[in-house]
Each structure stands twice: as C-alpha cells, then as structure tokens.
Amino acid sequence: MKIFYKTAATATGGRSGTSSLNDGSFSVQMVRPDSDEKGVNPEQLFALGYAACFDSAMDLAANQLKIDSAGSKTSVEVGIGQRAEGGYGLDLDITAHLPGIARDDAQRLVEATHQLCPYSNATRGNIDVRLHIETEGN
C-alpha cells in the first residue's frame, strides 16, 4: 500500500486522561461514557472520524457514479459492548442523508462509498456495521 498521509496521537490516562495529536494541533480531555465530567470518549471521536471520512468518500463515489450529492451528510452512531467471545467490541450505524436522490441511486452511492471509505475497509468483517439511507420524498 502506498501511504499518502500519516499522523500520530498519544493518550495518557486512558478514558480518564488526555489524548493529543503529536504535532500539537489538537488535545482533548477524555472521559468515560457514564461520566458527568466535561470531555469526550473514544467512541465519540471514532464517530466523528468515521462520519467525516465516509462523507468525503461519498463525494468521491458520487463523482465517479455521476450522481449529484449536493446537500448530503453522514451520521455515524457508535456503540460499545461486551462480545460473546469475551472482550469488548463496537457496533455501528451509518446513515447517509441524501436529499433529492432517487432511492436506487442512493443505494448504489452508499454501497460504493462503503467500498471506498478507509474506515469501512478497516472495520469490515470485525465490527457490525449497518448502512441506512434517508432521502426526502423517496
């Protein structure tokens, strides 16, 4: 694989500490999901990253498929839970909001996006991912 970009982050204190990009451009206070403290948790950061990545891949796929995706957006819901075989795992729902796109085109677009997106490729086969499509009037 040819690497186009690389970044690094460091966490101190896990879910009750600080996570920072090594270049100093971003730092965040981490908190447990059940905490009343101010901060974010890893699942929230994963949802942010996946949503941005999928949405960007959707623009690329729309261009390739010649589908006008103006006004589209992506929402990602991340859950964490105990796996039957032990340990913890993630569970994802990805919703592509595609106003004004015919249902068949929206389906083709989301399926193509799921094949392009680096997050989708990284999680395929080891995380339950459900794809959803919302269109207006379709």
Task: List alpha helices for the chain, DSSP H.
Answer: 42-65, 103-116, 118-123
Count of Cβ atoms closer than 10 Å to residue 3 Cβ? 5
Strands 73-82 and 88-97: antiparallel
Question: For position 56, what pLDDT does the model report?
Answer: 97
Residues in the chain: 138
The tens place of each residue's pLDDT in the chain, 138 residues long, gives 999 999 999 999 999 999 999 999 999 999 998 889 999 999 999 999 999 999 999 999 999 999 999 999 999 999 999 999 999 999 999 999 999 999 999 999 999 999 999 999 999 999 999 999 999 754
Question: For position 11, what pLDDT does the model report?
Answer: 97
Question: For position 138, what pLDDT does the model report?
Answer: 47
Q: Which domains does the chain have, with CATH numbers?
A: 1-40 (2.20.25.10), 42-134 (3.30.300.20)
d(CA 138, CA 9): 42
CB 103 within 8 A of CB 109: no
d(CA 119, CA 65): 21
pTM for the model stands at 0.92
